[in-house]
Amino acid sequence: MKGAMAGEYRDVHIWRFTPDSFVRLFHDLAELGLVPMRIEGKIHVSGFEFSVCLRKQG
């Protein structure tokens, strides 16, 4: 906190998705033409994490 108060830059970010929320968001981004990829196959869930295979379109 002291570093931030002194103007020190720290790159910190957190994104939290469920598999369903990720699919919905990714679908919307693809429909808007913002990502040239699509989700390929099933989403693999392991504990609190999941992985997605993306395939480039075009």
Query: Could you tell me if residue 9 is inside a domain?
Result: no
Q: Which residues, including other chains, have CB under 8 Å from residue 58's CB and lie 6 or more apart?
A: 36
Query: Could you tell me if residue 19 is inside a domain?
Result: yes
Are residues 32 and 24 in contact, defined by beta-carbon separation less than 8 angstroms? no
Record the pTM. 0.70
pLDDT given at position 53? 95
Task: Examine the pLDDT at 49 and tell me if it is beyond 70.
Answer: yes
Local confidence band at 4 (pLDDT 50, 70, 90 cut-offs) = low
Query: Could you tell me if residue 6 is inside a domain?
Result: no
pLDDT tens column, 6-43: 777 877 778 899 999 999 999 999 999 999 999 999 99
Local confidence band at 57 (pLDDT 50, 70, 90 cut-offs) = confident
Quote the number of domains for the chain: 1
CA distance 54 to 58: 13
Query: Could you tell me if residue 5 is inside a domain?
Result: no
Length of the chain measured in residues? 58
Q: Give, for 17, the enclosing helix (H) or strand (E).
A: none
For 30, the domain range is 15-56
